[in-house]
Amino acid sequence: MKNKDSDYFRRSIVWNKTKDAEFPFEVYINQRRVTIRLNDFPVETLYTLLIDNKPVSDFDDWPENWRRP
């Protein structure tokens, strides 16, 4: 994971629910679209964090400082 992208895991984020089952959460931070993709678990990691539609990190555990709607 790139250093600047890891900042998203440390910051407090209140996610917005979308109508897209594959990308169920999104938020705009500093004019960047940040989304969560739900992957094909258990074959893949559970989630992928995307910034402006580019995958930046895969993860299984939801950070404590993130809030789902």
Query: Can you name the residues that pair with 59 across neighbouring β-strands?
Result: 47
> Residue 37: CB partners within 8 Å, gap ≥ 6?
22, 23, 47, 48, 50, 55
Q: The whole model's pTM is what?
A: 0.86
pLDDT in tens, 14-50: 999 999 999 999 999 999 999 999 999 888 889 999 9
Classify each residue of 45-55 as buried b or exposed e, where b means 16 or more C-beta atoms within 10 Å of its C-beta: ebbbbbbeeee
Provide the pLDDT for residue 49.
96
Residue ranges of domains in the chain: 3-61
Provide the pLDDT for residue 3.
46
CA atoms within 13 A on the CB side of 62: 11
